[in-house]
Amino acid sequence: MGVVLNVNGKVHELDVEPDAPLLWVLRDELGLTGTKFGCGIAACGACTVHIDGEARRSCVTEVATVAGARIVTIEGLSAEGTTPVQQAWIAHQVPQCGYCQSGMVMAVSALLARNPAPSDAELRKAVTNICRCGTYPRICAAVQQLAAEKS
Amino acid sequence: MAPRRMVLLGGLSATGALVVGYALWPSGRLEHANRLASRPGERFVANWIKIADDDTLTVVIPHCDMGTGIFTSLPQMAAEELDADWTKVRSETAPPDPLFANGALGEGFILSGYDIYPENIPAFLRGTVANSFRTIAEFMDLQVTGGSSAIRATGVYGIRIAAAAAREMLVKAAATRWTVPQRLCITRNSRVIHPESGQSFRYGELAREASALDLSSHPKLKPRSQYTIVGKPVARFDIPSKVNGTTIYGIDVQRPGMLYAAIRIAPVFGGKLVSVDTHAAESRRGVEKVIRLDDAIVVVADRFWRARDAVAALDPVFGDGGHGGVASSNIAGRRLAALNGELKSDVKTGSGRDALAGGRLIESAYQVPYLAHATMEPMNATAHFVDGKLEVWSGTQDGLGSRVQCAKTAGLPLDKVAFHLMPMGGGFGRRLPGSFNFLDYAVRTAMAVPGKPVKLIFTREQDMQHDYYRPNVMSRFMATLDHDGSPSAWVNEYTTDDSANPEAHILYDIPNQAIDVAKVKTHVPTGPWRSVESSWHGFFIESFIDELAHLAGADPMAYRLKLLAQKPRHAAVLALAADKAGWHNPLPAGRGRGVAIVECFKTIVCHVAEVTIGTDGRLKVDRVVSVVDAGMAVNPDGLRAQIEGAILFGLSAALFGEITIDKGAVMQSSFPDYPVVRLADVPDIEIHLIESDAPLGGGGEPGTPPVAPAVTNAIFAATGMRLRDLPIANHTLSMQRQSAG
């Protein structure tokens, strides 16, 4: 008995409780520590991953609910190395402590996948992740650059 | 045997004189450094400076990386003096060994006029190494990152000098090989060149010989006019691994056979564990052990979520340590009573408070609540106690101090304790010595499960309810204005939970001043919070001076400028802010503009905030224009990032930040009841850096203090409402009649 998860294209059969939080299964069972714990109640977004392409907060996602879904973490965001979002993050020198940035990159990547050229207002509404270092102005600048390249 | 080498710690003092401090390197110390922190093919040439055979220059940083960029800007300072090829420069964290204590920090504070007595120790260092350091020697046994000190102390008084000395040693080694005078050699791009003959050596070819030479006692430092690396925006080394999830923070440490621990600490500070029925936890899947500590219960399990859920399933009974009746409201009453009692005089100029009799009296009281740090990475540490030795991994703001603390908690000698300083998800003062509860609990947990590494993680709720808070304090001002509206008397009576705060001293030229202090201590633990005392005195002073300006019928900008006429740097900062913010451009009804200026850790910052108050009372901070004089910026893009971050950190506190106490315990538990700024709340931020001739100031903290008063002064300009306590969210904003003038 267990739960079968498809994470970053790999299938894992795991002996965990069905209601185990995806965040901790990723971190403690699979060693994928790029996804971060921030609050445990879906309030901060540090744990954001993609479930079938949608940004989801893994700390409140019970593993049984995503069995069979396509789960992507920061480690699996791209097979070809640094994505345009990550490149823009480097170009704009976005991170400070960097702890929230996995979640930020995942949240922004999911937004851009459905809306490649979001307005600043759309970005601010869609991405509610918390950054305590205050990297938000650079996140806006980086996304505006990505949007400009698309439109 | 006589000391073989000596490293200089020195630099230019504020007055321009060459100040030199010495840190002796006893014989064998270089070898010790190499044993601790060198790989094959590289060696230390001077303190903090390693040069490898392939020319790689590695700067060994005696600080932590909490995201401020010092792991790039300190190497810039070294590379500058060494004329290094920037593409060959790296940095790494110094081991938590006394050899790498950042004594330069102590030197820096001594040189900048602090006397090292306990009452004069800056607050961010208080509590360090068990409150015991009374001597410079002890003071230097630290690796603290705080007080915005890395650049202006370690960099200016340490790394820069060592790099200049290393450069001279490389030149000497080359000149000796060529048998030419050193003065005919130049350095460029990590090479020593003899232009006359056209010969050159790479640094990597010279490093071994150079490292055997005595350091020059007075290395020549470059003047700022010759800088080519310092002062240029460079890409930070740490960023690529922070966008792809590969940076390993403290919470990410993995050890073979590692267990996980979750904790519930007595909710009332000082309370003890009375009783607990552990059965409910012990029968759960994965639970290895339930540990009763004197003031907490810990569950150790094979996975974190199992430990977390098991500890939540317990129903422990905790005592309240006699503090169960304490609430924020009665703390406020105690503060007021203290201010009405006997005060200790800190500053008296002119005829002090007697001058209040000479004119119209203005009186205002201000207060701020407790604040949590709420770092994104909750507090955690991994500890492994085996065969009488302890090994600990954690992100803290003092690696050596952490090691000392862990040894003390474990009752082990220092040489039985290893500490691995990890990158951390935010510090803001939370991880300084004196605030190490997470290390203590992790060590005590590990001692209870010997042989097994265990990672203790605070849940967000435990993190928020067992912080060391920015203190809850108040200030009561009195002033009188003379015939032209200038303040003739300034009286500030304030509470502190510590000693007198130099940050209460004012920049403004006011002839009669009395600044008096009342100490109010509660059971709530307090600690440094980004910009420390400046974070509240900045709000108090810059709000009250704004009140005086309006009462005098003066423009708040012009009023400040007049009172800063004798301080040209401050006046220049204000003037540029007025210009860039369009201070004199009128705003429509419902909008307002406010100014505040604070000097913090030797950096002067002025913010002009623009706000809109909707007809529904909703506040929007539209724009913050910031002018910063930090002397110069080592990495201007890095300094801008710090100011942006400091503004938003201060804005979170101004708008929403409040920790309240009820029945002796913290009422807030996570981001829903302790909100912080998100993307939707972020104003347009515009930063202007001024390069002055002043010594370098701090970068990480000075942007925070002027935020709250700039915003509340803007609210006053828009509405006529003077907010004298924070957060702003506690106030219902509406249009009041504008005050006279």
Alpha-carbon gap, residue B186 to B176, rounded angstroms: 14
Q: Show the 3-state SS of B427-443.
A: CCCCCCCCCCHHHHHHH
Count other C-beta atoms under 10 Å from residue B277's C-beta: 12
Contact B678 A36 (CB under 8 A): no
pLDDT for the residue B28: 63
Mutation target for B interface from A25, A37, A60: give the one with most B CBs within 10 A. A37
Interacting residues of B144 by C-beta distance below 8 A, sequence separation 6+: B63, B102, B105, B124, B125, B128, B397, B398, B401, B432, B433
Contact B671 A98 (CB under 8 A): no
**Among candidate residues B682, B685, B707, B684, the one with its CA nearest the CA of residue B530:** B707
Distance from CA of A15 to the nearest CA of B (A): 12
Q: Please give the distance of CA A94 from its chain centroid, rounded to a whole number.
A: 16
Query: Given A73, A77, A132, which is nearest B376 (Cβ)?
Result: A132
CB B249 within 8 A of CB B424: yes
CB B213 within 8 A of CB B172: yes
Interacting residues of A80 by C-beta distance below 8 A, sequence separation 6+: none
- For B53, B148, B564, B691, B692, the CA distances from B572, given in Å and listed in that order, are 48, 23, 10, 11, 10
Using pLDDT thresholds of 50, 70 and 90, give the confidence band for residue B21.
very low
Model pLDDT for residues B149-162, shown as the tens digit of each residue? 788 878 887 788 88
Between B413 and B28, name the one with better pLDDT: B413
**Among candidate residues B68, B154, B155, the one with its CA nearest the CA of residue B106:** B154
Mutation target for B interface from A133, A135, A139: give the one with most B CBs within 10 A. A133
Count other C-beta atoms under 10 Å from residue B470's C-beta: 27
pLDDT in tens, chain A (151 residues): 689 999 999 999 999 999 999 999 999 999 999 999 999 999 999 999 999 999 999 999 999 999 999 999 999 999 778 999 999 999 999 999 999 999 999 999 999 999 999 999 999 999 999 999 999 999 999 999 999 998 8
Between B45 and A111, name the one with better pLDDT: A111
Average pLDDT over residues B450-467: 98
Of all residues in chain B, the percent with pLDDT exceeding 90 is 80
Q: How many degrees, rounded to 5, is the angle at CA B318 between CA B315 and CA B319?
A: 155
What does the block give as tokens for B469?
């808070």
Contact A125 B680 (CB under 8 A): yes
Average pLDDT over residues B356-363: 88
- Chain A residues near residue B252 by CB distance under 8 angstroms: 27, 33
Alpha helices in B120-212 (DSSP H): 136-139, 160-178, 203-211
What does the block give as tokens for B420?
């691995």
CB A109 within 8 A of CB A142: no
Query: Given B245, B423, B670, which is nearest A34 (Cβ)?
Result: B245
Query: Given A34, A43, A86, which is nearest B670 (Cβ)?
Result: A43
Omega before residue B233 within 30° of 0, cis? no
Contact B648 A136 (CB under 8 A): yes
What does the block give as tokens for B740?
């006279």
Query: Given A100, A138, A140, which is nearest B376 (Cβ)?
Result: A100
Alpha-carbon gap, residue B704 to B726, rounded angstroms: 15
Mean per-residue pLDDT of chain B: 90
Model pLDDT for residues B643-699, shown as the tens digit of each residue? 999 999 999 999 999 999 999 999 999 999 999 999 999 999 999 999 998 989 999
Q: Show the 3-state SS of A60-121.
A: HCEHHHHCCCEEECHHHCCCCCCCHHHHHHHHCCCCCCCCCHHHHHHHHHHHHHHCCCCCHH
pLDDT for the residue B14: 33
Q: Please give the distance of CA B670 from its chain centroid, rounded to a whole number.
A: 23
Strands of B552-709, DSSP E: 591-600, 603-613, 619-629, 661-662, 665-666, 684-690
pLDDT for the residue B6: 28
Using pLDDT thresholds of 50, 70 and 90, give the confidence band for residue B3.
very low
- Chain A residues near residue B303 by CB distance under 8 angstroms: 20, 24, 28-29
Contact A40 B460 (CB under 8 A): yes
How much is the pTM?
Answer: 0.94
CB B285 within 8 A of CB B438: no
pLDDT for the residue B686: 98
Closest residue of B to A62, CA-based? Answer: B305
Model pLDDT for residues B52-88, shown as the tens digit of each residue? 999 999 999 988 888 999 999 999 999 999 999 999 9
Query: Given B303, B423, B426, which is nearest A132 (Cβ)?
Result: B426
- Give the sheet arrangement for strand B49-52, strand by strand: B42-46, B49-52, B57-61, B89-93
* DSSP state, residue B323: -
Q: Work out the end-to-end distance of chain B between its first and last CA atoms, rounded to an integer number of angstroms.
A: 76
pLDDT at residue B26 greater than cutoff 90: no
* DSSP state, residue A59: G
Distance from CA of A112 to the nearest CA of B (A): 16
Distance from CA of A51 to the nearest CA of B (A): 18
Using pLDDT thresholds of 50, 70 and 90, give the confidence band for residue B147.
confident
Contact B66 A97 (CB under 8 A): yes
Query: Given A31, A74, A99, which is nearest B377 (Cβ)?
Result: A99
Query: Given A39, A101, A130, which is nearest B242 (Cβ)?
Result: A101
Count other C-beta atoms under 10 Å from residue B337's C-beta: 11
What ipTM does the predicted assembly reach? 0.98
- Chain B residues near residue A137 by CB distance under 8 angstroms: 644, 682, 685
Q: Please give the distance of CA A141 from its chain centroid, rounded to a whole number.
A: 19
What residues form DSSP beta bridges with B495? Answer: B518
Judged by average pLDDT, the poorest of B68-77, B97-106, B122-131, B136-145 is B122-131
Please provide residue B380's backbone torsions phi and psi, each rounded to the nearest 5 degrees.
Answer: -165, 160
Contact B68 A96 (CB under 8 A): yes
Q: How many degrees, rounded to 5, is the angle at CA B264 between CA B259 and CA B266?
A: 145
Q: Work out the end-to-end distance of chain A between its first and last CA atoms, rounded to an integer number of angstroms.
A: 49
Three-state DSSP class for B162?
Answer: helix
Model pLDDT for residues B627-637, shown as the tens digit of each residue? 999 999 999 99
Using pLDDT thresholds of 50, 70 and 90, give the confidence band for residue B312.
very high
Interacting residues of B253 by C-beta distance below 8 A, sequence separation 6+: B382, B393, B420, B422, B455
Closest residue of B to A101, CA-based? Answer: B243
pLDDT for the residue B132: 27
Q: How many degrees, rounded to 5, is the angle at CA B688 between CA B687 and CA B690?
A: 145
Alpha-carbon gap, residue B88 to B35, rounded angstroms: 23
pLDDT for the residue B252: 98
CB A142 within 8 A of CB A88: yes
